[in-house]
Amino acid sequence: MGYIIPLLLIQRFIGYEKNIVPPDFLILTHDKNIYGIEVGIKKEIQSGSFALQTNIPTATLDTINSRNSDRCPACSKWIQFCPHVINNYADFTKEINNIQVRCLEECSIYSKEDILNGICKYTKYSRNHATTKEYTHHEFANSYHYHYCCVLEGVTTEMKRKIIAAQDTTALKTHFPYYSGLEELMQ
């Protein structure tokens, strides 16, 4: 017969109480201050615990209006940030005026043909059904954000041809990260 050991005792025995759960990001400012950034709401306990143990101030940021955490409804995987977004977001000399990136017009990594043919795994597809636009007459034209490559794999060959030929600059996009609350650190 085995022993039933309370989880708290196991945690103490193997040292879980001493582990620190870090925030999602650590920001080092130009004047060498460090801030912890926890993305998402309702993480105050985790943020507070980290701040108490490390003396690093930690803030929680709102992602309610952001487009940077889309999960593709077709494959259920997260749509990752593309290299174009990462490169431009990390370059502090570039001014970002719009969080939306029109992939066919603005991408500096993939060619227009590669994007249209679904080679870029970062391109999002979001389109509503439109009666006058035949290339939107499919199940993925429902305003959700999909991997564009998942859309091309999920439609008939004829519809795929129509979607590619449409070169729909409105539907093919990605987004820069936007976190409400970071403005205070940029002063």
pLDDT along the chain (187 residues), means of 10: 44 54 77 79 74 81 63 92 89 84 95 97 95 96 95 97 96 83 60
* pTM strictly above 0.85: no
Determine contact, residues 41/60, Cβ cutoff 8 Å: yes
Which tens digits make up the pLDDT trace of 14-61?
455 566 777 777 777 778 888 887 776 667 777 788 888 888 888 777
CA dihedral 118, 123, 128, 132 (to 10 degrees): -50
Between CA 2 and CA 151 the distance in angstroms is 52
Looking at residue 17, its pLDDT comes to: 55
Nearest CA among 7, 13, 25, 46 for reference residue 181: 25
Write the DSSP symbol of residue 121: T
How far lies 108's CA from each of 27, 105, 146, 172, in Å?
27, 9, 21, 15
- Rg of the chain over Cα atoms, rounded to whole angstroms, equals 22
Write the DSSP symbol of residue 182: G
Reduce the DSSP state of residue 139 to 3 states and report it: coil
Amino acid residing at 57: P
Helices (H), the chain: 7-14, 44-54, 83-90, 103-106, 112-116, 148-154, 157-166
